[in-house]
Structure 1
Amino acid sequence: MLLLPGRGLLLGLAAVAVAVMAARLMSWWSPSAGFRLFVPGELARYRGGPGDPGLYLALLGRIYDVSSGRRHYEPGAHYSGFAGRDASRAFVTGDYSEAGLVDDVSDLSFSEMLTLQNWLSFYEKNYEFVGRVIGRFYGEDGLPTPELTQVEAMITKGLEENKQELKEKQKFPPCNAEWSSTRGSRFWCSQKSGGVSRDWIGVPRKLYKAGAKEPHCVCVRTTGPPSDQTLDNPTHSNRGDLDHPNLGDYTGCPPLASTCSFPL
């Protein structure tokens, strides 16, 4: 595959990030000494109220002492519902009702699992890990349950999908876009459109993706071999990725224009 300047480095870093995160997940969830096991009823005592032994919350079965963030989690605070329990689902859904403050994440998507992973990273960095909850994610022996193993697999899959999305974004960076009630719509490409720095500008095209209701505007390279061919392939058409089967033209826009305007 053709690797444009800077693209190989970005993809390499993405691959490293996936490997590092997978290793980190394994270290977070593997057996280790120096932590307590709590049953849910015991953890419920740690809500930070008068006479309570502490202020803890759990995420994916891992318990953190959040006393240093008391103003966020103590009784009456905005996130008090998280204290004394594992409310992993609410970290994604924002449902702070009793029905929503639960640990069932079995129907979350890959991207939602990545949100949980980001929250897990936040608590690992900012609060002290103190134990594990016996139940959905850890057994009485403190070892991960099959459900936690499934969560780990989904997070790893989500990281891989992010890596693939980064790869596609390097190939087809999003267009710049604007709309005005007086001038209509305009799409245009630049060397930094879509937040992707590159040494080419490209032309606007519609990119159709499986499962998407509508195409979205991307910038397409117009010279050199297609991205799925090597530089030394003698048969390429020197049209970049213009002939990709998932692309479509904008009606009324010159085929090699870097800007497409659609007046009202």
Structure 2
Amino acid sequence: MRRLGGRGLLLGLAAAAAAVVAARWMGWWSGRAGLRLFVPEELARYRGGPGDPGLYLALLGRVYDVSSGRRHYEPGAHYSGFAGKRLLRWSSVGDLRVRVLENLSPAGRDASRAFVTGDRSEAGLVDDVSDLSFLEALALQNWLAFYEKNYEFVGRVIGRFYGEDGLPTPELMQVEAMASRGAEVGRQALQEKQKFPPCNAEWSSSRGSRLWCSPDSGGVSRDWAGVPRKLYKPGAKEPHCVCVRTTGPPSDQTSGLPALTNRGDLDHPNLGEYPGCPPLAITCPFPL
């Protein structure tokens, strides 16, 4: 997964994405009258326990009152570790399972990075998320939208993502730029899945394995079944099985031009046949 590094590139990405995301995020980023600013040590007091002043959590520097979901967040509840801390967790983007972050850092500390890298050392327990993948950044923004919709926004945390004036820092702009790119990556992945749906697969100790295509294999409903092929993706160690359309013009042919072939996507350069399987067979058995 592509990573972003260096402050110059950070600002470049942020500037490139600014025009696209400004309208959606201006309401979240702009100052509000009476906006409350927290320091991390203060936020850590809002755990929802006896004598605590409230039940808050923060995500990317934005603080939400989650009292209405007390049964989920109060001490001893399933998500109690999130209250008074930064919330980053597993999520899904379209059909892609994305490992995001679950910050279980001690009070007054944001250890978000540790839940991406797995580094639980003192050096790893930091809040630097500048090298998130595109899809991880997008998933964080999706969770931010969830909390914005379902819980009361109460303020911002002074630190990595917001300055003492309550305005966003370059680090927050980086996350937004990465999320914008993540949305593009997600769309590309969905388009590829529509073009090359995954095969059905099964294995048994008595019969061996079998790969086959159907009009709904891979969770993609369509009016063709296709035939199994190996799809070789740049950077991938192994090919994976996809279903390939066998009739009509290639998917990447410009719309409106006469069809040059009637072989669908069979001639795509990243595809390979399975040895021992007839080229147009819908099912490829591989006995033991």
Select which of 188, 200, 203 maps to 2:227: 203
User: Deviation digits for residues 156-178 of structure 1, max 9, x if unmatched?
Assistant: 11111000001111111111111
Distance 1:71 1:95 in 2: 19
What's the counterpart of residue 131 of structure 1?
155
What residue ranges of structure 2 are gaps of 5+ in the alignment?
A: 1-18, 92-99, 113-126
How far is 1:48 from its partner?
Answer: 1.4
1-structure distance, mates of 2:226, 2:138 = 32
Say whether the 8 Å CA contact 2:211–2:228 is kept in structure 1: yes
Alignment partner, residue 43 of structure 1: 43
Output the CA distance in 2 between the equivalents of 1:90 and 1:204: 32
Residue in 2 that maps onto 1:237: 261
Contact 2:60 2:161 survives alignment (8 Å): yes
* 1:76 is aligned to 2:76: yes
Amino acid at match of 1:254: P
Query: Does the CA contact (< 8 Å) of 2:86 and 2:103 recur in 1?
Result: no
Matched-pair contact (CA < 8 Å) for 1:31–1:143? yes
Cα separation, 2, equivalents of 1:260 and 1:151: 44
Indicate the SS of the match to 2:28: helix
Distance 1:52 1:94, change over 3 A: closer
Alignment of 1:102-251 (within 5 A): 102=112, 103-230=127-254, 232-234=256-258, 236-251=260-275
CA change 1:68–1:211 in 2 (3 A) is same
Describe the superposition over 1:42-98 as per-residue Cα deviations: whole angstroms up to 9, x where unpaired: 222212122221111100001000112223222333332322233547983446354
Structure 1 residue matching 2:85: 3-state secondary structure: coil
Partner of 1:96: 104
TM-score by length of 2: 0.77
**Is the deviation greater in 76-85 or in 219-228?**
76-85
What is the root-mean-square deviation of aligned Cα atoms in Å? 2.5
What is the alpha-carbon distance in structure 2 between the residues aligned to residue 154 and residue 252 of structure 1?
44
Could you tell me which amino acid in structure 1 is paired with residue 220 of structure 2? V
Contact 1:90-1:96 within 8 A present in 2 as well = no
Query: What letter corresponds to residue 235 of structure 2 in structure 1?
Result: G
Aligned position for 1:258: 282
Counterpart of 2:16 in structure 1 is none
Q: Match of 2:70, as an amino acid?
A: R
The question of whether the paired residues in 1 share the 8 Å contact of 2:231 and 2:241 is answered with yes
Equivalent pairs: percent with the same residue?
A: 78
Gaps of 5+ in 1: 1-18
Q: Secondary structure at the match of 2:284?
A: strand
Q: For residue 113 of structure 1, give the secondary structure of its aligned residue in structure 2.
A: helix
Closer/same/farther in 2, CA of residues 146 and 89 from structure 1, 3 Å limit: farther
Q: Which residue of 1 aligns with 2:58?
A: 58
Label 1:80 to 1:42 Cα distance change in 2 as closer, same or farther (>3 A): same
- The one-letter code matched in structure 2 to 1:59 is L
| TM-superposed deviation, 1:114 | 2.6
- Matched residues in 1 for 2:286 and 2:87: separation? 48
Q: 1:94 to 1:143 in 2, by over 3 A?
A: closer
Tell me, yes or no, if the aligned pair for 2:87 and 2:101 is still in contact at 8 Å: no
Say whether residues 1:27 and 2:27 are aligned partners: yes
> Would the aligned equivalents of 2:38 and 2:155 in 1 still touch at CA under 8 Å?
yes
Which deviates the most, 230-239 or 141-150? 230-239
